[in-house]
């Protein structure tokens, strides 16, 4: 049986530094992935909101209702992921505004629909900015 070489202070510090580098890299990569995910999902939802506004503006209420249903389905999938990444108040704001938007499409109220769609667009659009890793967000 070979004798194991005792760990010296320098080998322990190399292992510690290596572990810290790996941990730091993992945290940074996870943060970048989460930000990309939020940005991609946000862009998809903003595009869907714009399509709903366009359909409603042209009087295609059936098309608006269909697009609203598609966006609601997308949101239900996205919501599961976002709930672990962002503040739940933001998710609640999106849920409430989506509900209002759906009703406004059902009653065909273009005057009220436009500001609600703009509000939803703003809520969804600012989330990647708010959650990004910047000096302003850290301090």
Inside any domain, residue 26: no
Instruction: Give per-residue pLDDT as tens, 72-131.
Output: 999 999 999 999 888 899 999 999 999 999 999 999 999 999 999 999 999 999 998 877
Inside any domain, residue 30: no
Inside any domain, residue 108: yes
Inside any domain, residue 10: no
Q: What is the DSSP string of 94-124?
A: HHHHHHHHHHHHHTT-HHHHHHHHHHHHHHH
Inside any domain, residue 132: yes
Structural domain containing residue 41: 35-138
Inside any domain, residue 44: yes
When comparing pLDDT for 7 and 104, which is higher? 104
Inside any domain, residue 3: no
Inside any domain, residue 72: yes
Number of domains composing the chain: 1
pTM, whole model, 2 decimals?
0.79
CA 139/CA 130 separation, integer angstroms: 13
What CATH number does residue 117 fall under? 1.20.120
When comparing pLDDT for 129 and 1, which is higher? 129
């Amino acid at each position: 049986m070979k004798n194991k070489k005792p760990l010296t202070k320098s080998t322990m510090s190399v292992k510690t530094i290596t572990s810290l580098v790996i941990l730091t890299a993992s945290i940074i990569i996870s943060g970048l992935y989460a930000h990309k995910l939020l940005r991609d999902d946000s862009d998809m939802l903003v595009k869907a909101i714009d399509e709903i506004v366009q359909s409603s503006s042209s009087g295609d209420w059936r098309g608006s209702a269909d697009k609203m249903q598609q966006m609601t389905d997308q949101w239900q999938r996205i919501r599961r992921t976002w709930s672990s990444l962002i503040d739940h108040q933001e998710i609640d704001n999106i849920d409430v505004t989506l509900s209002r938007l759906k009703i406004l499409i059902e009653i065909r109220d273009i005057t009220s629909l436009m500001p609600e769609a703009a509000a939803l667009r703003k809520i969804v659009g600012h989330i990647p900015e708010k959650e990004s890793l910047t000096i302003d967000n850290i301090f």
